[in-house]
Amino acid sequence: MEATLTKPSGGKLSQSKDDIPTPTTGLAPYTGPWTESEVIHLLKRALFGAKRSDIAYFKTLTCAQAVDQLLTLPVDPPSPPVKEYATPANATNPDTNVLQGDTWVNDPSNDGTVNSLRRSSFKKWWMGLMINQDRNLREKMTLFWHNHLATESTDVNAQFLYKHHSMLRSFALGNFKALMKAVTIDPAMLVYLNGQLNQAVAPDENYGRELQELFCCGKGPGSLYTEEDVHASARVLTGWRNNANTISSFFDNNRHDKTNKQFSSFYNNTVIVGKSGPTAGEEELDALLNMIFATNEVAEYMCRRFYRWFVYYDIDETVENNIIKPLAVIFRNANYEVAPVIRTLLMSEHFYDILSRGCQIKSPVDLAVGLCREFEISFEPAPEYTINYGHWNYLVNQCANLQQNIGDPPDVSGWKAYYQEPQFYEIWINSDTLPKRNQFTDTMVMNGFTFGGKRMIIDGAEFAKTLTNPGDPNQLINDLTKLMYRLDISDASKAQIKKDILLGGQSEDYYWTNAWNQFVNNPGDMANTTTVRNYIRDLLKYLMNLAEYQLA
């Protein structure tokens, strides 16, 4: 094995992180070679996996054109999730208003059983969107915001859940300040962090604290807001409530604290003047966000979050000075528009630095969705939504089994891999999850998953037919490792894999070439066909079980 997963840093996993030099490159536009290697690096970070058709497409563009394409998001939202489940007879208020195949997102329901089925439907639908994503950043950024502005689906009804997700999706590359206003009065967030309980007679500090500690300012040494600031923020935010029937929030002036709110020197001793009337809640919320976003800390904190999502978790003094602080200036100057920051980062020489490649451990979602996309697993046509939802549900459950349950991060901080020092991404790999990762990839290569009589599986032999020269065992292995790995394995390892798997222990390449040609030209030769299929299956299984496959 070429790599170990104990310290994923830079390009050599067997070394201690402290032994690896930090990239000294900055935000100057990348001007180096634009080969498949650079394209794959960009796509594996910006999308979930790098499909061969996408690699070919982006290779025809320049680096700047490729990034601009990724930043160009579709205007229309995707079709919403549909009712693909059967409502149990014991449901108190079954959703008989919604026909099979129609969406449930606009049908209010307070039935616990129905809501549970709809939350599950939502997760399956979301998995399908990630698998069928377009050539842009929308899916990767939607998951980013779900992690950064975390809520748990088990705490909210399904209609609020979908509305919250749609909001995150609509702001994928939009204005961060506007997003923070929207999420503050979002029905799901009002439930999750007790905003709907926050009133003048009993201020609830939950959201006011997380607004500063997790969402905007962080916990760094420069983030010097006080407990009094938390108290004052809570008072600003009193009066917001939810209406489950209209699936929306509203402001109740009778529950609002109308007194002045004093803030600390961190916020320049700002006083937010208490307001009264139907617009008081929004006016004070605007004042609160203007005050918070006037600090330098917001831009720097968020640029660290973007960096850890797209590049690497280790931010030392060099990265802070060369990348974070200049990005923060861009962020502030752009009035907190996200797109210019991401564009600068993804076009930078730092992003394409050799030490920035292959240093992330794939999240469970990256692993599962990337596998489906890169090996072009076929799903059913859209009308067969029941079968597709069944297959997507299997993938949702596999990700949850690997400790990334979409829709339900562990808590309001999101998944620990993006903030827990010093391990960060290394948290994804442990004695429990690594065997499960291998079991998942083994299943997808060996037997697949069957639902409704339809099987979801990697067809290795058919996939090999799409490669440049699968009859050449050396080229076949090179093409697969280039697509699957960010850190290549040695020529000696490739030679041994070729001999042990593709040549069946023989020493001459023609053993494989002859078998492959016979497979293509005479598929009715069942003995040979079975042999070829099994050899490719075993090759993929072995390559997926190596440590290199866990890196992005």
What residues contact 284, with CB distance under 8 A and at least 6 apart?
236, 237, 261, 272, 274, 275
* Residue at 308 is within a domain: no
pLDDT score, position 1? 33
- Which tokens hold the place of 107? 């049908």
* Residue at 247 is within a domain: yes
- Which tokens hold the place of 165? 């997700």
Contact at 8 Å (CB) between 225 and 292? no
* Residue at 537 is within a domain: yes
pLDDT score, position 15? 39
Q: Which of 229, 253, 284 is the last residue of a domain?
A: 284
pLDDT score, position 6? 38
* Residue at 305 is within a domain: no
* Residue at 87 is within a domain: no
Q: What angle do CA 329, 332, 336 make, to 5 degrees?
A: 135
The span from the CA of 123 to the CA of 156, in Å, is 14
pLDDT score, position 504? 94
Q: Which of 265, 284, 303 is the last residue of a domain?
A: 284
pLDDT score, position 16? 46
- Number of domains within the chain: 2
**Rg for the chain, CA atoms, rounded:** 25
Residue range(s) defining the domain that contains residue 226: 112-284
pLDDT score, position 95? 85
The span from the CA of 62 to the CA of 55, in Å, is 12
pLDDT score, position 90? 78
* Residue at 14 is within a domain: no
Contact at 8 Å (CB) between 349 and 29? yes
* Residue at 217 is within a domain: yes
Q: Which of 284, 299, 327 is the last residue of a domain?
A: 284
State the pTM of this model: 0.95
* Residue at 262 is within a domain: yes
Could you tell me how far CA 508 lies from the centroid of its own chain? 44
For every one of its 552 residues, what pLDDT tens digit does the chain have, with 9 covering 90 and above?
A: 344 443 333 333 333 455 677 899 999 999 999 999 999 999 999 999 999 999 999 999 999 999 999 999 999 999 999 999 998 777 787 888 899 999 999 999 989 999 999 999 999 999 999 999 999 999 999 999 999 999 999 999 999 999 999 999 999 999 999 999 999 999 999 999 999 999 999 999 999 999 999 999 999 899 999 999 999 999 999 999 999 999 999 999 999 999 999 999 999 999 999 999 999 999 999 999 999 999 999 999 999 999 999 999 999 999 999 999 999 999 999 999 999 999 999 999 999 999 999 999 999 999 999 999 999 999 999 999 999 999 999 999 999 999 999 999 999 999 999 999 999 999 999 999 999 999 999 999 999 999 999 999 999 999 999 999 999 999 999 999 999 999 999 999 999 999 999 999 999 999 999 999 999 999 999 999 999 999 999 999 999 999 999 999
Q: Is the dihedral of CA 290, 292, 293, 295 positive or negative?
A: positive
Contact at 8 Å (CB) between 543 and 549? yes
